[in-house]
C-alpha cells in the first residue's frame, strides 16, 4: 500500500457507501478506462469474473469452441467451462512466451471458434497485431487477458485495449492490488453496460425484484474500489521498480551462460510484473534445485505456469503447436523456468542475497 488508499476508503466510510455502489466504483471505472485508452469499464469482483462476462458478451454458449493461450493460469480458461463451452489450447512463441500466431492460424484451419482468449503473460503483450489479423479475417472477437500486464504497451497502445474486450486483475499478487478485484474494459459501451447488468444479479429496471436473465454477484465494492484508486496513482512508479528488479537480475546473471532472462519482445514495453529466468536445456542445475536452495533461506520462488494441456482437468482437450521440435514451447518453458522474487519492497541487499544463493549453485 502507498498510503493514499486510506483517503478513498475513509471517504467511503464517511459517506456510508460500503456496498457495490458509490463514488469510488464509478471513478475507478473511469480512471482505468482513461488509463487504458478505452471508452468504458466495469469494476468486478475478479479478473476471472471479467473473462466470464466477456465470454457471455461474445455470445459463447454450450458446445461453442474458444481458443485460449496454453501457457497461463487456469483462471484464463475456467470461465469457458462455466459456459459449458469447449476450450482449445494454443502454444506459445519464443519472442514473448505468449500465444503463437502460427499455432493460432493452424488451429483456425481445422475449426472456427466463437472467441479467442489471448493472454499477456508475465506483464508482456502478445503479438496482438498478428493475432488480430488472423481473427479479423473471420470476424472472431478477441478477449485480451491483461490480468498480469496493466501498464504494459503494444506498439502505441496500452495492454488490454486492443481486443474486443480487455481484462485486468487486482489480485494481491498483481502490480497494483485492491486485495481482490478485476475490471472488464472495451470501446463497446453497450456491452460494458450489459456486463454491469449481469454482474448485479441481472436485476431488471422495475419497482419490485424482477430477473429476466441469469445474473451474477460480480460487482466490486466501494471499499475495494477505493484501494484501487489509491494504487493507480503509483502504477508508473511500480513499473519503474519492477524494471529495476529485472535489470538487476539480468546484470547479476550475465556471467552465467546457463541462465537467460525471460525474453522481451521488440513490439512493446512490459510492466516487468515478474522476473523470470530460463535455464539452458543442458544445465546440470534444474529449476527445482534453485527453488529448494532459496526455500532453505526462507525465500519464495515459483515454477512458471504449468501449461493447460498438461493439467489433469484439461489434458483431454485439443492443443495446437507450430513448434517443429519434439516438445511444445509452453512445455519447454515450464520445464526450464523459475519465477524469482519480484516484490517492489525488495532492497538491493535482498536481491543480492537471492542472486548469491543462485550463483552459488553454479
Q: Same domain for 290 and 228?
A: no
Q: Same domain for 271 and 220?
A: no
Number of domains the chain contains: 2
β-strand pairing of 337-339 with 302-303: antiparallel
Active-site position among 56, 114, 174, 269: 174
Percent of the chain past pLDDT 70, that is, above it, reads 99
CATH of the domain at 179: 3.40.640.10
Q: Same domain for 84 and 25?
A: yes
Q: Same domain for 95 and 179?
A: yes
| Final residue belonging to a domain, choices 207, 232, 257 | 232
Q: Same domain for 132 and 20?
A: yes
In this structure, what C-alpha cell is assigned to residue 193? 453496460
- pLDDT tens digits for range 223-236: 999 999 999 999 99
Mean pLDDT confidence for 296-315: 98
In sequence order, which residues have a C-beta less than 8 Å from that of residue 305 and are 6 or more positions away?
71, 72, 73, 121, 334
User: Which structural domain range is residue 26 located in?
Assistant: 5-232
> Active site includes 296?
no
Q: Same domain for 267 and 351?
A: yes
- pLDDT tens digits for range 28-77: 999 999 999 999 999 999 999 999 999 999 999 999 999 999 999 999 99
Q: Same domain for 254 and 226?
A: no
Q: Same domain for 256 and 319?
A: yes
CATH of the domain at 349: 3.90.1150.10
Q: Same domain for 313 and 346?
A: yes
- pLDDT tens digits for range 316-359: 999 999 976 679 999 999 999 999 999 999 999 999 999 999 99
Q: Same domain for 308 and 338?
A: yes
| Final residue belonging to a domain, choices 232, 259, 283 | 232
Q: Same domain for 353 and 320?
A: yes
- pLDDT tens digits for range 194-211: 999 999 999 999 999 999
Amino acid at each position: 500500500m502507498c498510503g493514499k488508499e486510506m483517503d478513498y476508503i475513509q471517504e467511503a466510510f464517511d459517506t456510508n457507501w460500503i456496498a457495490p455502489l458509490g463514488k469510488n466504483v464509478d471513478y475507478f471505472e473511469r480512471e482505468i478506462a482513461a488509463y487504458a485508452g478505452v471508452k468504458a469499464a466495469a469494476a468486478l469482483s475478479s479478473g476471472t469474473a471479467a473473462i466470464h462476462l466477456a465470454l457471455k458478451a461474445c455470445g459463447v454458449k454450450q458446445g461453442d469452441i474458444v481458443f485460449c493461450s496454453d501457457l497461463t493460469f487456469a483462471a484464463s480458461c475456467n470461465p469457458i467451462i462455466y459456459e459449458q463451452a469447449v476450450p482449445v489450447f494454443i502454444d506459445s512463441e519464443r519472442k514473448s512466451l505468449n500465444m503463437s500466431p502460427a499455432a493460432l492460424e493452424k488451429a483456425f484451419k481445422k475449426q472456427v471458434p466463437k472467441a479467442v482468449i489471448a493472454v499477456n503473460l508475465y506483464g508482456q503483450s502478445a503479438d496482438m497485431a498478428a493475432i488480430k489479423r488472423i481473427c479479423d479475417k473471420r470476424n472472431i472477437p478477441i478477449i485480451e487477458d491483461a490480468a498480469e500486464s496493466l501498464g504494459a504497451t503494444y506498439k502505441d497502445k496500452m495492454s488490454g485495449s486492443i481486443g474486443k474486450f480487455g481484462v485486468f486483475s487486482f489480485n494481491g499478487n498483481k502490480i497494483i492490488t485492491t486485495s481482490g478485484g478485476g475490471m472488464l474494459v472495451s470501446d463497446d459501451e453497450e456491452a460494458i453496460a450489459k456486463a454491469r447488468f449481469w454482474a448485479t444479479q441481472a436485476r431488471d429496471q422495475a419497482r419490485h425484484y424482477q430477473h429476466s436473465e441469469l445474473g451474477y454477484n460480480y460487482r466490486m465494492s466501494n471499499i475495494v474500489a477505493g484501494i484501487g484508486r489509491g494504487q493507480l496513482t503509483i502504477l508508473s512508479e511500480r513499473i519503474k521498480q519492477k524494471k529495476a528488479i529485472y535489470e538487476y537480475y539480468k546484470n547479476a546473471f550475465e556471467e552465467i551462460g546457463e541462465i537467460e532472462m525471460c525474453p522481451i519482445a521488440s513490439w512493446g514495453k512490459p510492466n516487468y510484473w515478474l522476473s523470470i529466468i530460463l535455464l539452458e536445456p543442458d544445465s546440470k542445475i534444474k529449476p527445482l534445485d534453485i527453488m529448494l536452495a532459496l526455500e532453505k533461506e526462507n525465500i519464495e520462488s515459483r515454477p512458471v505456469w504449468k501449461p493447460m494441456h498438461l493439467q489433469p482437468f484439461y489434458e483431454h482437450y485439443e492443443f495446437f503447436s507450430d513448434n517443429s521440435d519434439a516438445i511444445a514451447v509452453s512445455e519447454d518453458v515450464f520445464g526450464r523456468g523459475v519465477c524469482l522474487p519480484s516484490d517492489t519492497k525488495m532492497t538491493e541487499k535482498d536481491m543480492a542475497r537471492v542472486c548469491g544463493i543462485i550463483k552459488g549453485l553454479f
